[in-house]
Amino acid sequence: MRLSEYASLDGTALAELVVAGEVSPAELVGSAQQAALAVDPALHAVVEMYDDPRIPRAVDTSAAFAGVPFLMKDFGAHERGRHQWMGSRAVDDRLTQSESVLAQRFRESGLISIGRSATCEFAVTATVESARFGPTHNPWDLGRTAGGSSGGAAAAVAAGIVPMAHATDSGGSIRIPAACCGLVGLKPTRGLIPTDASESVPVDFHTEFVVTRSVRDAARALCSLQKPSGIGPPADARPRRIAVAVEAPWLSAVDPAVAAATLHAARLCEQLGHTVEEATPQVDWPPLFEAMKDIWALGTLDTVRDWTDISATRCPAEIEHLTWELVTRARRLSGTAIIDALAKVDGAASSFAGFFDEYDMLLTPTLPTLPPKIGEFSPDMDLNTYYAGAVGRMEPAAAIFNATGQPAISIPAGLAGAFPLSVQFAAGAGREPDLLALAAELEAEIGWAAWTPPVHAGRPPATNPSTSEYEGHRA
């Protein structure tokens, strides 16, 4: 198989070739490794390529993604006997002694892990620019972030290294990088996908899934990975009532090009026979956002102390300042403050649930602007500076649905020059089939499968730029 062919196909198409006997899993793994060699020096999307990818001796032809190469994120679900650095200088080179439930599901679905993708330290920011590994570059523009915290996964998929990759989402970490890199990013309903999330955090916004190039890969992955008591079959193509909002309490100032792409998606929905009208759920955003930060802080504290010693009262040299601020914030929370934060989140969830009794979906921008330039974020930032800056301002539009628990999907909607712009659809809990059905309709209309970033494994090597002009930004 030519590398250009491999890099152009989604996971479903590659699996079909494996099942038909036209290509072997070993050949696909070889293509993925070749693709990484071609483009990852420019991207820094992969923190480890395995010398010994665990290729099964026999192909399970019933598996959804039989023989398809895959990347695990350096955070969240983990494989037995592999490293997991969590993007942090504070984590040593220990090998994991257990395997997470989701990693088992990935393997049972036929996916073959070939390595691990880059993330920010403990997955806490909307960009991957860690002190340990430096920045991950966007294949559409090497000077811009690929998003976070699943930025390595998104950059690798967009550049053709693998057709899909593991991603996590506690505050937009699937949808933000998917939007930055022109991919499909579905955040499932909270609790639908099995994870090893800690039970010591009272409400965990965390979920795990994948980033993909095609809607059908996302739909097939959802069927393979969800819990047995999950959602039903794919939805029909009935007309839906869609609310659209380019202004909302949780949306920071939206760039005109992003607003135009969102309204263009709304018009396409109308042309497809759906009813579209302007409407917005109402929440008291500033106190809700502070409550969300409290819950993120609790989750960060819980994760960090599982991986490194944080008994010190001052920030250890190995831990980034922003991470330590979250740890410190969590330690200062009283029981009353935690209960208050949970009440605010519960109130927002109730408000959105009521909204989705009236509307089938809500359409908003995924990001308020184009992805920020690399270097606008620093691991030494404090929390207030982070959220006032270009990177932190990306989070709220996506994170609101982590707080409320509803599913949301980011899809490409248009191009600003040669850069993809994305929109986000959200729906009521368990309504993933509706989201995927509409996304498939729009995929056929918009045709983003034909969009290829300048850095891509399917291009001749001489046409792929390097990061040499951006090396000054590396940590």
The band of 418, judged by pLDDT with boundaries at 50, 70 and 90, is: confident
Lowest-confidence range among 60-69, 97-106, 293-302, 457-466?
457-466
For residue 472, pLDDT over 50 is answered with no
Mean pLDDT of all residues in 414-434: 95
Exposed e or buried b per residue across 141-166, where buried means at least 16 C-beta atoms within 10 angstroms of its C-beta = bbbbbbbbbbbbbbbbbbbbbbbbbb
For residue 474, pLDDT over 50 is answered with no
323 within a domain of the structure (yes/no): no
For residue 467, pLDDT over 80 is answered with no
Mean pLDDT of all residues in 107-132: 98
Catalytic residue positions, numbered: 73, 149, 173
Q: What is the pLDDT of residue 430?
A: 94
Mean pLDDT of all residues in 47-76: 96
For residue 473, pLDDT over 50 is answered with no
Distance, in Å, from the CA atom of 355 to the CA atom of 421, rounded to the nearest integer, reads 26
| Cis? peptide before 334, omega within 30° of 0 | no
435 within a domain of the structure (yes/no): yes
List pLDDT tens digits, range 80-106. Answer: 999 999 999 999 998 999 999 999 999
268 within a domain of the structure (yes/no): yes
The band of 466, judged by pLDDT with boundaries at 50, 70 and 90, is: low
Among 377, 450, 443, 455, CA closest to 410: 443
377 within a domain of the structure (yes/no): yes
Q: What is the pLDDT of residue 137?
A: 98
Expressed as residue numbers, the domain containing 28 is 3-285+340-450
Q: Which pTM value belongs to this model?
A: 0.96
Mean pLDDT of all residues in 159-179: 98
Q: What is the pLDDT of residue 469?
A: 42
Q: What is the pLDDT of residue 202?
A: 61
The band of 76, judged by pLDDT with boundaries at 50, 70 and 90, is: very high
317 within a domain of the structure (yes/no): no
For residue 464, pLDDT over 80 is answered with no
List pLDDT tens digits, range 215-250. Answer: 999 999 999 999 887 777 667 778 999 999 999 999
Contact 60, 66 (CB under 8 A): yes
Q: How do 112-117 and 134-135 pair as beta strands?
A: unpaired
Mean pLDDT of all residues in 418-440: 96
Mean pLDDT of all residues in 181-196: 94
List pLDDT tens digits, range 310-348. Answer: 888 889 999 999 999 999 999 999 999 999 999 999 999
The band of 290, judged by pLDDT with boundaries at 50, 70 and 90, is: very high
The band of 58, judged by pLDDT with boundaries at 50, 70 and 90, is: very high
Q: What is the pLDDT of residue 259?
A: 97
Distance, in Å, from the CA atom of 23 to the CA atom of 419, rounded to the nearest integer, reads 33
Cα dihedral 39/44/48/49 (nearest 10): 0
Q: What is the pLDDT of residue 465?
A: 72
Mean pLDDT of all residues in 434-455: 96
Q: Which 3 state secondary structure label does DSSP give 331?
A: helix
Strand order in the sheet with 69-73: 46-49, 112-117, 69-73, 164-169, 207-212, 184-187, 408-416, 419-427, 361-365, 241-244, 275-278
For residue 191, pLDDT over 80 is answered with yes
Determine the residue type at 364. Answer: T
What's 212's domain CATH number? 3.90.1300.10
Q: What is the pLDDT of residue 201?
A: 62
For residue 423, pLDDT over 80 is answered with yes
For residue 285, pLDDT over 80 is answered with yes
Number of domains comprising the chain: 1
- Give the mean pLDDT of the chain: 94
234 within a domain of the structure (yes/no): yes
461 within a domain of the structure (yes/no): no
156 within a domain of the structure (yes/no): yes
List pLDDT tens digits, range 207-224. Answer: 999 999 999 999 999 999
